[in-house]
A and B are shown apart, each in its own frame.
Chain A
């Protein structure tokens, strides 16, 4: 089966950059996604990257993909207290039937 792994916790000071890391195992992955989950809510789609790209920037978010090492990261610039949440990376789009494989989630705490 597919394994997607993330570290469990990250703590940063407000205004600093946050970097959340993810590794995956399936080399046939085509699209990789980042989701954010706030308490009591579902998952909010943040951004995605196609497997033939190595970087994508979207406002304060930068996604880096190292396909050789199967490593994905999400950088949040100028982290704010409102960014405190759980962040999930997901491997999706490998086939119809839409089964996404999610990491365990990284809980980001932003210290004022």
Chain B
């Protein structure tokens, strides 16, 4: 069974631009979550989608948004990039996203904002 696939692996963008990251979950998994990982803040929850609906959202500004498609694939978008958005963005999928629904992570997209 293929794991969680994130594209692209690396991105370099300029401040003020926008970016879209893509995530394909494990086949059969309906919940997709996104996390931001930085050396200073660690792993921070961005949002979670299930059946194309955002069920939960972390404490990030509105510049961070996401969506999920009917095949469970998900994208996240960051608009008006800031230097502080440089991070590893991790996507994780799980079966249902309920109790005991372990997260399975992709290898991440490394975003560098210059």
Contact with A along B87-114 (1 / 0, CB 8 A): 0001010100111111111111000000
Task: Give the contacting residue for B55; candidates A30, A93, A96, A102; CB below 8 A.
Answer: A96
Residue B4 at the chain A interface, CB threshold 8 Å: yes
A97 to chain B: which residues have CB within 8 Å? Answer: 48, 55-56, 97
Pair count A-B, CB < 8 A: 77
Task: Give the contacting residue for A40; candidates B99, B102, B107; CB below 8 A.
Answer: B107
Residue on A nearest B55 in the bound complex, by CB: A97
Are B104 and A45 neighbours in the complex by a CB distance under 8 Å? yes
Residue on B nearest A100 in the bound complex, by CB: B103
Q: Which residues of A pack against B, CB within 8 Å?
A: 30-31, 33, 35, 40-45, 48, 50, 88, 90, 92-94, 96-105
